[in-house]
Structure formats: C-alpha cells, structure tokens
Structure 1
Amino acid sequence: MTAIDGSTVRNPDVLREDMVRALRDQGAITSEPVAAAFAAVPRHRFAPEAPLSIAYDLHSTVPVKKDKHGLVISVMSAAHLQAVMLEQAGIEPGMTVLEIGSGGVNAAYLQELVGPGGQVTTVDIDRDIIDRARMCLDEAGYTQVKTVVADGESGVPDGAPYDRVIVTAAAWDIPPSWISGLAEKGRLVVPLTVCGTTRSIAFDRDEDGLISRSYGLAHFVPMQGDGAAEERKVMLRDGVVVRTDDGRVSLNARALDRALGTPQLVRWSGAAYDLPDELDLYLTLNLSSVARLHADKEVIERGLVEASARLGVPALVSEDSIAYRTRRANEETGGYESGVIAHGPQAEALADEYSNLLRRWAHDHRRRGVATFRYLPGPAPSPLPQDAVLRRHGIITATWR
C-alpha cells in the first residue's frame, strides 16, 4: 500500500499523519484546530470498502451509493475539499453546527472542532446514507453527533439557530430555511452551482441577506429532493452537449448543431490566458446568454470542437450561433493567449462580446478571490439586473474588484 509520499505503508495512523502534512503543504489546512481534527478522526473507518491509500488520498472521493442507472449519488468527499470548507467555516468550540448532506466523516471533523460543549447535526434525504453514517460515527466514537433523515431543503428547525450551516452537496439555490436557521452572526458554507460551474462560498448574514467572505473551486454530487437543480441539457450531436440553468437562455439544438457544422471564426484577444477557474467563473457570470459546452474526447480529436470543452467551457449562445473560449501559446502574453472560437450566422457579434470580456478580465480582474457574491432572498426585482442570476428563492449577484 502506498502512502502520500510514495512509501509503502499499512498503518492508518502513519497515513493520517502524512495526509495532514500534505494538506498543510498544499494550503488546504491553515489553522491548528482543523489540523487537529484531521489528525484525530480515523478517516478509514468511514470508508471501510476502500483501500487505505484511497481513504487517505488528498483528492480521491469514495463512492458510497449509486442509483439504479449506476450513477454515483453519494460519496465521501475528498480530504482536500473538506479541509478547505472547514477552514472557510471558521468553527469554534461550543458552536452549534448543521451539516446538510451526510457521509459521517465530515460530521466527525465538525464534532472535533466544536468540542464537547458544541453540537453537530447531520441530515440527509436518504435513509441508507444516514444509517451508514450513524454506524460509522458510533464505531469511531462520535456518538454525540445527531443524525436526521429529512430533505435538506427544509433544514432542521429542531436545533436552530445554528452558528454554522455546512452544505456538502452541490446546491442550485439557497432556501429560506438555511438563512432563517442561521444565528444572527452565523455563516453558511455552500457549494453553489451556476450554469454547471460550482464554487464553495462562505456566506455571512447581513441586513439584506448573505454576503460572501471567500470562495473556491468545488465539485460535489448534486442536491436531491426539493432542492434539485432546474437545468436543461440538449445534445447537439453525439458527444456534444450544451446545458444551462438560466431559463432566459434559448437552446435550439438543431440550429446550434448546424452552426457547429459551419467554418469556425477564430478571434485572438491579445489577453493573457491564466487562472482558468477564475476566468471561467467571470465568463459564466458576465456573458449575456451563457450555457456550458461539453465535448467528448473523440469529437475533440476529430477537430470539431476545441479541447477547452473537454471538461466544460462557458459558451455564449444565440438562437443559431455559438462561441466559446480557446487558447494558444504566446510568450508576449506571459505564456498563453486567450481567444474565441465562434460558429454560425452571428459568429462575429458573439466573438466580439466574448473577446471584450476576455480582455476586461485580464486587464482588471486577473487574480484570485476578486469576486464578491451576494444572495438576496425574496421576490426578484423587476426588471432583473443585468448581472443577476435568478433562482427560486432569490437572486445571486457578483461584483468584481
């Protein structure tokens, strides 16, 4: 069995020490309380089906349950992501914490952080997941953690107000119960998804709703139940899919597929390509009609779609045209230059808008952590602001420093 440093180890205590050291080195753990929690919890006991090397790997998830189609619907999240979110949460001894989306190990970390004077409640919609979490928590000695079977959309009023609410499934919206269940100075840490891209955002309460303190790239299985995402997905042709959760965006599959069959317009921006996760977030929230374009390996190798679409790329779409980001080597821009591939009758106009945003980001916002998110609950204003993302229970806005 191979440890993080490459040596062969069968001792989980040694693997756990290596994991904590590596999480510190990578900046995922930045505080002593979180380091102590990760050092204390026997992580492998929450993943008895997995090899020790996987249980203690920084970036590996452990599948816990699949649906009838074989799709994974619950996992033990990667240690790196759990550490980042716990640092975002800033949990202190004696706090009351609600975890929405249960797996067991994260609740154990939370219990270590709040200590004997605090209380952790973990809730999941799936009875199988809660039963498994309960068993693992009890066997590992975390009998104080409270487990609840319920739809996380409704929160857990019995136990509110909570100093912290930690969500461990990708959420499309923030329901009223999560905000009303927070203490006056409470914090919500939630993987919030907008048009297929997800960020773990730490929100604090303010007089208008929620305002972000920090955010980072995240990947989670989607929320189930009443909080499930409202997303449309259309296949343009085999291996090419476009998806959006913005009801204002038209997805005409036949017309967009015809557009892909036309010669591509290539427009180079003259702007540096850098920090792709920050750039993609900026484009997703600033393109006027945004979707996410995905293409499989075979389609990319045939040259129909650029490699940027392999894991999904922000696309600007109209009724009959599409544009998306690409890059090329260019030492004059610091290594790479960003550009646009556009297809269809409106290719010129879409390429102009996309290129302007690429240049604006590179000139004004090319660094990490420059966005501030607000969540404003309640009915949406009319007209809806240009930069607002409409949700069931409120709107999301972002400003860029």
Structure 2
Amino acid sequence: MNYDVLIVGGGAAGFFAAIHIAEANPELKIAILEKGKEVLTKVRVSGGGRCNVTHAEFMPNELAKYYPRGERELKGPFHTFCSGDTIAFFEEKGVALKVEEDGRMFPVTDSSETIIDCFLKTTRRYGIDVLTGHAVKEISYSDVWQLTTGKGIFKGKKLLVATGSSPKVWKLVQALGHTIIPPVPSLFTFNISDRRIRDLPGLSTIASVKVLNTNLNTEGPVLITHWGLSGPAILKLSAWGARDLNRLDYKFKVKINWLYNSSTDDALVALRQVKENEGKKRVSSVNPFDIPKRLWFSVLEVAGVTEKMRWAEINKEQLILIAEQLTRAIFTVDGKSTFKEEFVTAGGIDLKEINFKTFESKIHKNLYFAGEVLNIDAVTGGFNFQNAWTGAFIAAKAISD
C-alpha cells in the first residue's frame, strides 16, 4: 500500500505527529503502524491512569533542565513548541487541563481515556489510517521508504519512527546506519532491607540523599515503601544516575540526611539544648526536629532510647548516635524496582545523528524520529510526554512542508 507518510508506533508521539501533519496538509495520505493490538497503551497507564500530559514549566531553558539526556538538544525545540503550546492544543480539541501542586498537569476529567478519545476522534476525522497488529520487520529505502510487516508491504515518501524504547526497532534503525546508545533503566526505586525503615512504609519527608563514591546527590521528598525508598528525590537520582547505577549493578550505599539542610553538629547542638532545658520531660513528648514522629522514634530506637525515657537519662554517646542517624544514615541498596507502570529507559538513537530543527535523520533524508526512540529521557512529572509532543510537532511541521 502506498502512502505519503508512514508513522511507525501508535503511541503519544506517533498520534500527535499524524494529527499535526494532517492539519497542516489535509491532502497527505497518512498511516500509523502499531505492532500491538491496541494503540496509546502508555498514555492509558500514565499517571496512574490519569495521564500526566505535561508540566507547568513554561520557560524553555528551565524545562530542558529536567532531561538527564537531551537537555542541550531540547532547548531549541522547546522555544518552538513548549508546554504552553501543549495546553493550547488540547484545549482547542475540547480537553481542559489542570495543574496540581507539584506542577504536574492532567486532564480535568482525571482520566487518560479523555486524551485517548481525543486522539482517536481526531485521527478518524482526518482519515488517518490506524493499523494495529503491524509489527515492522524490515525497513528499506529505494526512492521511497518501504516497510515490511507480517500483514504486507507499505511504501511512503516520508517515514517517522516513534516507537519509544523498542529494541527490535532500534536494531532496524541500526541497520540503516544509525548508532544506538545501549538502553539502561531510568526512573526506578531503591530496594533496601533495613530494620530502621522496615516499619515505616507510607512515610514521606524532605531529605537530602547522596550515593556514596559518586557525584550523585539531590534533595526533595523521600517516600519509604515496603521495598525500600522511593519518591521524587530517589526517582531523580535514578534518572540522573541511570548509567552509573547500572554499572554498579544496582548495589551501592546511600547517605541520607533526614534534616536535609542541617549538619550533624547542628543536630547535636539542638539535642543538647533539649536535654538541658527539657531534662524532666519524656523523650516521646519532645521532638525538636521537623520530621515525622514515626521516623523520630525509629532513630531513637537505633540509639537505644525508649519513648518512656526522660531527656536527662540520655547519655553523651546516645546523643551523638541520634545526631548521626538523623544527618548521615547509611543504607545499603540491593536492587531496584520499576516505578509504577512508567518504565522509562536511558538510551536510543545517538542525538548527534539528528537535526533538532526538524527531528530529521542526518544520515537519511525523509527519515524522522520523535519521542523515546531517541536517547532522550526525563524525570517523572509529565516531561517525557512533553518531549514526545515537541519532537512530534517539529517533525510534523518538517514532513508537511
């Protein structure tokens, strides 16, 4: 079958590009080829089924800082199509978005089906062919692009690959002469088995975290889970340290300061003051730090201090131990867990081989890429989708011209 434009991948980037190509040039015959039985599966599970569409960061250079891989390359594209443009696109299609406290943006309906319905209705309206069960087995070029699937041969003047993290497609792209940066996991939680946090699942607090023997450190909300540690600070470390932590085989030590901006000496001074001023009071009745009660009691337990003890009974060694446990607690990480269903990889097509003014290949004319098929990934919060929308929009503009 012959088309003007072939798009491989029925996900966020593929649909967004197809719609923008059709809007810019309705005469073009467009097909989306999706290997699975369903399209937009990642959109469906994103944000716990609510679809974290984008992030309320509207300054292109600031937005780019959320991408461990792709920061430099995305600055220009974000000046062309940014989060504000994403909001405008969906609102024009009748999908209102809302901002949550942490900056994440969702459809007002809190349902990813709203986004999926929007895409499906729009592609139907423009007569875009959406073909499921079409796994691409071969890509070749001779005057036009030719794709071989289990259900036939498709020819197109222009080709956009938007398959996300697909090892099979990466192999096909590699056969065309592109370099693939080997993929490693990003956005994962740390598996830790430690009695200090064993009884604290569900507890969240602001802390600073450092991976020992590396330059990786951050601060922010840390969530204690049944498996170990998660939350924005941990996910950020996993994204920025994706390759380093992979090299360590996910076995390393982290140092946590539960008081995040206070030193051990600061903590010791505060503890001595409480011992001096509140000596007659029970330890359980005075928590001198802004940390959750359960965490405070866990720290006391490590120092051999019971809740019924009075402050005057705590000795010098115990005070030092409490201060150390509060500001430089060492935990051993042994493995990782995927963060919810949002499996993201660091890796993909080498960014040096892409023209970021058009998202076209520098190796082949009329070959374009968008989304996570490229070596671009972000921290959690709607940023990976924004990369998909931006790349798809710019590629669509170049293709329709």
| TM-score after normalising by structure 2 | 0.26
| Greater relative CO (CA pairs within 8 A, separation 6+) | 2
TM-score (norm 1): 0.26
